Amino acid sequence: MSEPTIFELSSPGRTGVTFPQADVPSTPLPDTLIRENLPLPELSEVDVVRHFTRLSRMNYCIDYGIYPLGSCTMKYNPRINEATARFPGFAYTHPLQPEETIQGNLYLMYHLQEWLKEIAGFSAVSLQPAAGAHGELTGILMIRAYHQHRGDTKRTRVLIPDSAHGTNPATSAMSGFEVVPVPTDKNGNVDLEILRSLLDDTIAGIMLTNPNTLGLFEQNILEVTKLVHQVGGLVYGDGANLNALLGIARPGDLGIDVMHFNLHKTFSTPHGGGGPGAGPVGASERLKDFLPGPIVEIVEEGNEDYPPLYGFREPKYSIGRVKSFYGHFGIMIRAYTYIAMHGPEGLRKVAENAVINANYLQARLRGTYKIPYDRICMHEFVVEGKWADAPEIIALDISKRLMDYDFHPPTNYFPLIVHDALMIEPTETESKQTLDAFADALIKIAEEAHTQPELLKSAPHNTPVRRVDEVKAAKDLVLCCWLPEEQQ
């Protein structure tokens, strides 16, 4: 990398801070606290600012360009979300304040619950879970609690379509269930014949992602939910891809009993690096009493002169808290702002534009890249990053070469049911010009794969860091700082 470390930039005697003269007598530190060697870098303020500014310009981010990570929904985060999240009345609230003093916060949480109920067609919502996978775990624990509450202890198996997110089987196993995979049919849907053969009174439920990880709407969802309900099982909806359905279809109306919302994906807030996120859970009438608490409710009705009084309540058969205090409040503010700014018609346009953008991009790439399940897609789609007449090229090479064209790569090797998968999600916030530039780069790379494959195998060429060893980078972590020899 061309940028030296901050230790290499260090120059003896240079300072960025001048401490004021002490106005109290100096006191020696205890010997046990004194180090013999403390090699801190010595730089001026401008040295530090320029160093970190140069480093920041080496990072690719959503504020720089398209971030087409399928399944991750890295869409633009409207700046007004950040402004409202920093309102002093929100930012400086302490979670241990009395309810009477945080009525504004509770108003926001209550109405966010109500909006999420309406958007997804559920009877109740809990805002507690901290992220999507945490919401999954919450939902499956609710299904387990429901069966146990009824004394139905023979239900030990959870069905997971092979087009599900990888967290689904992990969630079920962590909750004590046996995971039963369900294969996908040739059209990208749950294979109904095999599903029927697996159903009996040991089925606790099914975890269904819709649209699934192929970017396809589950065409048989009404039949799937009916079949599972007929044997006494429940349906968990993985709501990670709800942004494709906003204002168009409601999971609760499709037979989903419990579902998590990825607030940070569906209602903005970029979440690269594992956070921040929020994974509220919505439940049908039969499961709402099992939601984690506390939930915000109106505890005293208002009138023309006084607003209602909001407070916390525990659901009747709640599985208990799943998060300290009340969840990730800052993300709730951003989601509330996003929903309020768009309104019902705006949210529908979000979904429509996300679907149109993905289908436009898919159409541009059809014929150049193989599309294994070639249907009208939802907000994302999957192509194969491999050609029979260019056998040495794999999906990873394509992604590395994309970086030379100044684009962030799409998701690689997911879902697992597609060979050398490239999963692309442009999001609704990208213009036609950006989509065309991205498609042009992918088409050019496909041409290079056949005429100059070495360009792809050795890519990237134009980035601060060339191709890294992914396995070594992931498993051989060096997290301590490196010091020049003279400072060691």
Domains (ranges, CATH) in the chain? 1-58 (no CATH), 80-341 (3.40.640.10), 350-473 (3.90.1150.10)
Bridge partners, residue 157, by sequence = 178, 203
**Residue 178 pLDDT:** 97
DSSP label of 300? E
SS3 content of the chain, % helix, strand, coil (to 5): 40, 15, 50
- Global pTM? 0.91
pLDDT for the residue numbered 292: 98
3-state secondary structure 155-183: CCEEEEECCCCCHHHHHHHHCCCEEEEEC
Q: The tokens 């692309």 sit on which residue? A: 424
Query: To which H or E segment does residue 32 belong?
Result: none
pLDDT less than 50: residues of the chain: none
The candidate with the shortest Cα–Cα distance to 424, out of 339, 348, 366, is: 366
Burial grade of 340 (CB within 10 A; 0-12, 13-18, 19 or more): middle
Residue 102: the pLDDT is: 97
Count the neighbouring beta carbons within 10 Å of the beta carbon of residue 381: 29
With tokens 């009084």, the residue in question is 309
Contact 288, 124 (CB under 8 A): yes
**pLDDT tens by residue, 56-102:** 999 898 889 999 999 888 888 899 999 999 999 999 999 999 999 99
Q: What is the pLDDT of residue 273?
A: 56
Cα separation, 362 vs 382, whole angstroms: 9
Q: Please answer whether residues 298 and 110 qualify as being in contact, where contact means their C-beta atoms are separated by less than 8 angstroms.
A: yes
Amino acid sitting at position 236: Y
The pLDDT assigned to 354 comes to: 97
Cα dist. 114→195, 308, 362 in Å? Answer: 34, 15, 36
Specify whether the CB–CB gap between 345 and 247 falls below 8 A. yes
Give Cα 159 to chain centroid, integer Å.
Answer: 23
CB neighbour list of residue 260: distance below 8 Å, 6 or more residues apart: 129, 132, 134, 135, 136, 138, 139, 238, 239, 240, 279, 280, 281, 282
- Please name the amino acid found at residue 19: F
Taking the alpha carbons of 74, 77, 81, 86 in that order, is the dihedral positive or negative?
positive
CA dihedral 378, 380, 381, 384 (to 10 degrees): -170
At 26 the three-state DSSP class reads: coil
pLDDT at 478: 75
Q: How many CA atoms lie within 13 A of 95 on its CB side?
A: 9
Asked if 347 and 359 touch (Cβ cutoff 8 Å), the reply is no
Structure token digits, residue 343: 């309104």
Dihedral class, residue 121 (left if φ above 0, else alpha if ψ from -120 to 50, else beta): left
Q: For 134-162, write each residue's pLDDT tens digit.
A: 999 999 999 999 999 999 999 999 999 99
Residue 348: count other Cβ atoms within 10 Å of its Cβ: 15
Token pair 């509330």 in the structure block, residue: 336
Spatial separation of the C-alpha atoms in residues 320 and 314, rounded to whole Å: 8
Which pLDDT score is estimated for 63?
87
Please name the residues in contact with 72: beta carbons below 8 A apart, sequence gap of 6 or more: 265, 271, 272, 411, 425
Tokens coding 38: 């403390």
Q: Show the tokens assigned to 241.
A: 């891809």
Tokens standing for 419? Answer: 């060979």
The single-letter code of the amino acid at 159 is: L
Question: Dihedral sign, CA of 226, 236, 267, 434?
Answer: negative
The whole-number pLDDT of residue 445 equals 98
